[in-house]
Amino acid sequence: MPSNAVILSVLMVMLLISVDVSSSARITLYEHSDHKGWILTDHTITKDDYRCFNLGSWGQDQATSVNTYNDCFILYEHNNCQGAHMKVAPGHGCHRHFPTCGFNDLTSSYKKC
């Protein structure tokens, strides 16, 4: 007969496997290319949250790369999702090097696609 610790471990693994990570979206903006430098934001939202989010004043106009964790986000030049914008989605956009798309050090706000 398995010990209580083994049973508890199996139950914990089953619980972790059943957590639905597909119900959230995450974005991380980095100061430098290739996901290096300061993290300017690391934000997790629900998949159905299409609100605009402004970066703090210390993080505006400094992003050079992004990780969207296989989701779609639109980055904006100004607060409140205004001005020039760049879509970053799986297979689309300049995730690792914004200068390639002419959007280096411009991001002030973002929202999910």
Q: Is the pLDDT of residue 16 over 50?
A: no
Please say whether the structural domain 24-112 has been given the CATH code 3.60.150.10. Answer: no
Domain map (residue ranges) of the chain: 24-112
Identify the band that residue 84 occupies on the pLDDT scale cut at 50, 70 and 90.
very high
Mean pLDDT of 19-45: 90
pLDDT at 15 over 80: no
- Torsional sign, CA 22, 27, 33, 36: negative
Nearest to 93 by CA among 43, 113, 83, 12: 113
Give percent of the chain with pLDDT exceeding 70: 81
